[in-house]
Structure 1
Amino acid sequence: MNNLLKFVACLCLIFSSTSCSLEPLEGQNSGNSTKISNATATTFCDNQDPQSRLINNGTIAYTFTIIDIDQNVIEILNVAPGTSSSWSSFNEGQTIFSVDGSAYNVSDSKVVLDMSTCTKVEIVINNLNEVNEPIILTLD
């Protein structure tokens, strides 16, 4: 019985090692992976409305207001220190981003950008309570 167990284990080892085949992977799946990446690239941004958010790395709370070219208020968000707002969508066109600090010794800031579809903008407040240059991301 002891030899039978060794024989079965040896037989399984031989069977599993002979069932493997060595074939080159070049050219077999590269066509499929290219198709997948192309499909992902074309569906990633399908005329999405522009989006924006405020990242508050400062020490005070800020009010983040998004205003369109016709002076319509799109969204008003209160952003606490050390947090960021959620992404807000709006129509394309010239947009005003107003950042108002809750302290008197902090200057308020307005940024005007021409936003198009498939565009995101991050407005960052640094640790000195100053507005950095906006980070504009274009989605492909």
Structure 2
Amino acid sequence: MNNLLKRTFVMCFVLTLLTCTSDSAENELSLDLNPSQLNEPCVGQLPITRVINNGTVSIDFKVIDSDGVVLVDIPSIPANTTTSWASFDEGVVLFSIDTNQTLVSDDKVELNMESCMAYEIEINTNNEVVSYLPIYL
């Protein structure tokens, strides 16, 4: 009888381990960033950015440093698309969203980007930037 209880406990424990699955939110993050951007802990990684254009018009995106040098230039991002991650040097940079469409305003955001930071710029269905805060990786 004693062995039967031990075997039952072991079988329940093994079945519990076999039925565990990973969290799908963790899987989505690994699809968004490449393996070099998932270092734990992040050390010395250049800042990164991308654009999620949920708007109705195509946009032009630039990252410009304090000297006026264009660090990232992604022209004509179509509506309902997401760009790849782009890296750039640390420092104070200007994120510029421009379009040649009438009745759609351009937007500029200036941020001090340090190593291990990411800035995901989201544009909503009204063609407005709705994200203004970077995150630390």
TM-score (norm 2): 0.69
How far off its partner does 1:85 sit?
Answer: 1.1
2:110 corresponds to 1:112:
yes
* RMSD of aligned alpha carbons: 2.6
| Superposition map of 1:8-27 within 5 A | 20=7
Query: Is the contact made by 2:120 and 2:131 (CA closer than 8 Å) also made in structure 1?
Result: no
- 1:83 is matched with which residue? 81
- 2:43 is matched with which residue? 46
Structure 1 counterpart SS, 2:134: strand
Give the distance between the partners of 2:50 and 2:40, measured in 1 at CA: 23
How far off its partner does 1:19 sit?
Answer: 9.4
Unaligned residue ranges in structure 1 (runs of 5+): 1-16, 26-40
Match of 1:70 among 67, 73, 77: 67
How far off its partner does 1:56 sit?
Answer: 0.5
Which has the higher Rg, Structure 1 or Structure 2? Answer: 1
Structure 1 counterpart SS, 2:40: helix
Unaligned residue ranges in structure 2 (runs of 5+): 14-37
- 2:119 is matched with which residue? 121
Deviations 1:20-58 (A, max 9, x none): 5957x9xxxxxxxxxxxxxxx973412110011111010
How far off its partner does 1:131 sit?
Answer: 1.4
Change (3 A) 1:99 1:42: closer
How many residues align? The count is: 108
TM-score (norm 1): 0.67
- Runs of 4+ aligned residues of structure 1 deviating over 2 Å after TM superposition are 17-23, 41-44
